[in-house]
Amino acid sequence: MKTKIKPTLESVAVHAGKGKKDQYGSHATPIYQTSTFVFNDVESGARAFRHEEGGASHVYSRLGNPTVEELERAVCELETYSLENGDDYAGMAFGSGMAAITTGIIALAKGGHIVAQDALYGCTSQFLKEEVPVMGMSCSFADMSDLMQVEMELKKHPETKLIYLESIANPTMTVSDIKALSQLAEEYGAKLMVDNTFATPYHIRPFELGADVVVHSTTKYIGGHGSVIGGVMAAKKELIEESETALFRKNLGGIAGPMDAWLTLNGVKTLPLRMKKHAENGMAVARFLENHPKVDYVFYPGLESHPQHALASSIMKDGYGGMIAFELKGGYDAGVSLMNNVKLCTLAVSLGAVDTLIQHPASMTHSIVDEELKKQAGITDGLVRISVGIEGAEDIIADLEQALEIQN
C-alpha cells in the first residue's frame, strides 16, 4: 500500500475550497449571484430555519452563499495546511477586513477586556481606542514583542478575554512571539487573535503556533490584485459556536458578497506564486534601502538589523514577505517629497497588490491614530511604508533611487 503524500501548499491553493460540482459540472467556481434561495416546499424552508437536517441547504445570502462558502473553506485550508486536525476549523468570509476584525473582537471579547498590540492598522487602532469602550468592553495597549509588558497588562486586567496582535505589525514591521503569547493567553484564560494579513499563510500559520483565531484583510495579498474588498476569519468550529460569531455576523450584516468572494478565490489560487516573488523583491529592496545615505533605518524582518530577525527566521517560512517600513533622515518633508516623485511605484494606501504601493503613514493611513499611541508604537513623521510588488526588483529600486535623489 502506497503512503499518501501530502500535497504542496501550491497544489492546495489551486484546489482549495472545492465543494460539490454544480448541476452543470462547471470547472470554474460559479458565482451564485442571488439574494435568496427557493424552497422545494414549506417544510423544507421550515427545517432550514430550525437548522434541522433535511432542510434547504441555503436560505438567504446574508446567512450563507455557496460561492462565499468556497472562499471560507479555501482560506481555512491554507491556514490549517500543516495541522492534522484541520477539519476541526472553519472559515467565515466578510465584506471587508475590518468587518472580520470588529465582528471577531465583539464576539470574543464581549463584556471583557482586550490587550492589544500598540502598533496596529490605523482603523483597528481607532476601533479599539474609540468604539470598544462604548460597547461595554475595555482595551489597553502593549508592545507584543515584550512578553513582560504583556503579562503586566494581563495581571492588571484579570477580566481580559482577548489578546489581539498582527503577525507582522502595521506599519512598524514588529514580529511577536505568537507561541509564547498563546501560552500567556491560555495561562490567563484569554483567547489569542492574530491578524495575519502581512504574512499570509505562505509565510506564517498562526494556528501552528497556538493562536485561537486568525483574521485577514483578503483585500490585500489573498485577493492580490487590488480589485476587491474583503475579509476572512478562521477558528475552531467549537469556538465559533461558543462565541456566537456567526450570529454576530448575521445580525451585523458583514458577510462577503458572492462576486467579491469569487474574485478573491481567483487570488487564492496564485497566492504561493505571488508571495514567493513578493518576498524575493522585498529582500532586494530592503537591502538597497538599508545602504542608502538618505535612509536612517529599515524595518524588514529579513534584515539582520531587524530587532526580531532571529524570531522571524524561526517562525517564517520561505522568505520574509513584501512589506517594508523605512525611516527617512529628512522626516515629514522627506516623506512627502518621496511620495511626490516616485514614477513606477504607485502612491496609494492598501498593500499586497501585484504592483508596488508606497505611502506615508503619518499623513495617510495612521493620521487618525491617537498621537500618544503613535508615539508609543514608533510611527514617526519620516516613516514610509512600501508594499513591494512583483515587478522587476531592479525597476523598483531604480524608481526609489531617482525619487530619493530629488530630495534636498
Residue with cell 535612509: 295
Q: How far apart are CA 277 and CA 388, in angstroms?
A: 9
Catalytic residue flag (residue 220): yes
CA dihedral 217, 222, 228, 233 (to 10 degrees): -40
**Chain-centre distance for alpha carbon 125:** 14
Q: Is 38 exposed, middle or buried (0-12, 13-18, 19+ CB in 10 A)?
A: exposed
Check 89, 121, 188, 202 and give the catalytic one: 121
Backbone angles phi, psi at 326, to 5 degrees: -145, 150
Backbone angles phi, psi at 376, to 5 degrees: -60, -35
Check 195, 260, 381, 399 and give the catalytic one: 195
Render 292-347 in DSSP notation, one character per residue. Answer: -TTEEEEE-TTSTTSTTHHHHHHH--SS--SEEEEEETTHHHHHHHHHHH-SSSEE
Cβ neighbours, 10 Å, residue 245: 22
Check 62, 110, 287, 317 and give the catalytic one: 62
Catalytic residue flag (residue 205): no
Q: How far apart are CA 395 and CA 389, in angstroms?
A: 11
Catalytic residue flag (residue 195): yes
Catalytic residue flag (residue 60): no
Q: How far apart are CA 305 and CA 286, in angstroms?
A: 11
Question: Do 175 and 311 contact (CB within 8 A), yes or no?
Answer: yes
* Angle at alpha carbon of residue 243, lines to 237 and 245, rounded to 5°: 75
Cβ neighbours, 10 Å, residue 238: 11
Check 220, 274, 374, 385 and give the catalytic one: 220
Strands 191-195, 160-166: pairing kind: parallel
Q: How far apart are CA 282 and CA 276, in angstroms?
A: 10
Which amino acids are annotated catalytic? Answer: 62, 121, 195, 220
